């Protein structure tokens, strides 16, 4: 690592020294090159069964995968956007053109920008439903929207991956996990995926709670739209589910991407370069521009704050685009400053760790 980025390394190490982090990876690319690539802590949790025990002795490795929650939403979106780029899918066509059973009068563009009106699965389902793609996609196809599509946004917290992923499956024939592996992750050499094999599951870090109250805070007020959007199917904040083969082997693309920081930073570097990485072009510059411009700017009914949504990402006032995930993982590109950033963590807590790392990074750019 170049000495210029020493403050970033020091900030990363401080997170472990003061007990705010127990297992994580951080990668930054600047001006088209990796300049920070750090790992620390442990993959496993020792002690308490509730995940609040101390980190165990199995060290975090460069190829350690971890669940990054909503950081995976743009990755799922890119699978569908690749089909848009190939002119197999029309952004402004009704979703029913490709998914005839789908009742909601939403366009593909509205699905991608969290304005389709289906932020929550309509039928309460147990954790075992995570592995039943047809059941959950069928629930969405039969659902009535909670608002007129296109009129307002609400993060499609658990549903997003099934909405865009079912369109991928209907048009291409492959699941979104297989499509990602064969069309994006393979050609760009990205260590990330949906629906992990048994071998890849053995590389996963166990998620753990930053404090025992984290699941309650994550879901919000009982009965709220946020709670409905993030609590069904059951188990999405339960360590017994999250660290199980059921979760790791299923495709829940809105929330269960498993990734390394280096894989995510590489992905955003390819996008920042206009769709080409190491000489391999996967997306046209026009598609990248379309995917990263603001589609919706206003209140988000699930997040309960103003949001700028692109076709799959959040855009910030400084022009950066990407996505943070529940629990603290985050990845994005900053075109103005010329960098991409990825932080992945097993310690489920708030995003203040990322805020401090970014402050250190910006101080040296």
Active site residues: 70
How many CB atoms lie under 10 A from the CB of residue 360?
18
Contact 349/342 with Cβ under 8 angstroms?
no
CA-atom Rg of the chain in angstroms: 19
Q: How far is 40 from 206, CA to CA, in rounded Å? A: 14
Cα four-point dihedral sign 225, 226, 229, 232: negative
- Cβ-Cβ contacts under 8 Å for 100 (sequence gap 6 or more): none
How distant, in Å, are the alpha carbons of 93, 175, 252 from that of 137?
Answer: 19, 12, 11
Tokens (6 digits) for 164: 């865009």
User: What CA–CA distances, in Å, run from 350 to 14, 58, 260, 315?
Assistant: 16, 24, 19, 20
Q: Is residue 319 within 8 Å of 336, Cβ to Cβ?
A: yes
CA distance 136 to 310: 25
The pair of three-digit structure tokens given for residue 50, joined into one six-digit string: 């509730």
Q: Residue 210: which residues within 8 A CB-CB, separation 6 or more?
A: 20, 328, 347, 348, 349, 350
Question: Buried b vs exposed e over 223-241: b needs ≥16 C-beta within 10 Å?
Answer: eebbbbbbbbbebbbebeb
295, 310 contact by CB (below 8 A) = yes
Exposure of 269 in the CB half-sphere (CA atoms within 13 A): 25
> Is residue 139 within 8 Å of 211, Cβ to Cβ?
no
Neighbours of 37 (CB within 10 A): 17
Does residue 277 sit in helix, strand or coil? strand
Burial of 200 per CB tally in 10 Å (0-12, 13-18, 19+): middle
């Amino acid at each position: 690592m170049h000495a210029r980025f020493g403050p970033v390394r020091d900030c990363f190490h401080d997170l472990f020294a003061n007990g705010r982090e127990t297992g994580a990876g951080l990668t930054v690319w600047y001006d088209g090159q990796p300049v920070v690539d750090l790992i620390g802590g442990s993959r496993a949790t020792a002690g308490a069964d509730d995940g609040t025990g101390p980190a165990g002795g199995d060290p975090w490795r460069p190829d350690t995968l971890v669940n990054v929650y909503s950081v995976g939403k743009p990755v799922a979106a890119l699978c569908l956007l690749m089909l848009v780029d190939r002119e197999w899918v029309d952004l402004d066509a009704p979703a029913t053109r490709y998914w005839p059973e789908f009742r909601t009068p939403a366009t593909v563009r509205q699905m991608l920008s969290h304005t389709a009106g289906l932020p929550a699965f309509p039928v309460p389902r147990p954790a075992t439903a995570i592995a039943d793609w047809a059941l959950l996609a069928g629930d969405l196809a039969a659902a009535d929207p909670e608002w007129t599509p296109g009129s307002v946004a609400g993060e499609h917290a658990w549903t997003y991956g099934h909405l865009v992923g079912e369109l991928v499956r209907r048009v291409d024939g492959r699941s979104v996990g297989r499509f990602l592996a064969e069309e994006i992750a393979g050609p760009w050499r990205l260590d990330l995926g949906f629906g992990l094999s048994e071998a890849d599951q053995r590389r996963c870090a166990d998620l753990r709670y930053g404090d025992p109250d984290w699941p309650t805070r994550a879901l919000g007020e009982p009965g709220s739209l946020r709670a409905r959007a993030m609590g069904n199917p059951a188990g999405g904040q339960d360590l017994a589910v999250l660290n199980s083969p059921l979760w790791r082997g299923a495709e829940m693309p809105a929330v269960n991407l498993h990734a390394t920081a280096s894989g995510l930073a590489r992905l955003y570097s390819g996008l920042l370069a206009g769709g080409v990485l190491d000489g391999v072009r996967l997306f046209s510059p026009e598609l990248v521009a379309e995917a990263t411009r603001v589609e919706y700017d206003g209140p988000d009914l699930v997040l309960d704050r103003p949001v700028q949504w692109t076709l799959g990402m959040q855009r910030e006032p400084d022009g950066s685009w990407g996505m943070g995930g529940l629990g603290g993982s985050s990845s994005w590109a900053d075109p103005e400053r010329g960098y991409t950033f990825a932080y992945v963590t097993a310690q489920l807590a708030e995003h203040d760790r990322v805020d401090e790392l970014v402050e250190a990074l910006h101080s040296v750019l």
